[in-house]
Amino acid sequence: MEEPNKDHVDRILAQWRRERPELDVQAMGLLGRLGRLRAHIVRQQEAVFAEYELTSASFDVLATLRRSGPPFQLSPGELLAATMVTSGTMTNRIDQLEKAGLVERLDNPEDRRGVIIALTPEGKKRIDAAVTAHVANQQRLVASLDPEERKALDAMLRKFLATFE
């Protein structure tokens, strides 16, 4: 029977402490929990995106265009910088979204050789509905934490993330 407030990571840590008591496995616990939480969160988010016939990748591109503000257009380079994927990956994402009628390639008025990626009216409608559902889902996912706990966790994660960025 599982003890209250114990999780899968606690069992793993207990095994390591038994087998290798000289190792400090506290960081393993923290990073293990972050990894497991990420997996749970990603599954929940992908389920919401799927309701709108999107994936996290397509959501990311559409959301980046949407939050850029009117006219909801960016160059491929700007999309690359905002999403941190390779150019080949971005081209594939844009191709798929264009086939679905959610974005279109327009001539870049500032560079005759370049293009601009723009949300179509259907793309804007889809991302607006999907982001509304996504935000509601995110609220649901953190509902087990009270507002002060959320604020404290956010501050700690911001500090931790800053060491990498």
User: Quick one: CA torsion of 154, 160, 164, 165, rounded to 10 degrees?
Assistant: 30
Query: What are 117-165's pLDDT values in tens digits?
Result: 999 999 999 999 999 999 999 999 999 999 999 999 999 999 999 999 8
Between 2 and 19, the more confident residue is: 19
- The mean pLDDT value for 15-32 works out to 96
Q: Where are the domains of the chain?
A: 1-51, 52-132
The CATH code of the domain at 52-132 is 1.10.10.10
H/E stretch holding 108 reads: strand 103-108
Q: Interior CA angle at 100 toward 112 and 139, to 5°?
A: 105
Which 8-state DSSP code applies to residue 53?
T
Q: Which amino acid is at 155?
A: A
What's the Rg (C-alpha) of the chain? 21
The closest alpha carbon to 97, from 69, 129, 67, 65, belongs to: 65
Q: What is the pLDDT of residues 33-90, one digit of tens each?
A: 999 999 999 999 999 999 999 999 999 999 999 999 999 999 988 999 888 788 888 9
What region, left, alpha or beta, does residue 104 occupy, with left being phi > 0 and alpha being psi -120 to 50 degrees?
beta
The reported pLDDT for the residue numbered 3 is 61
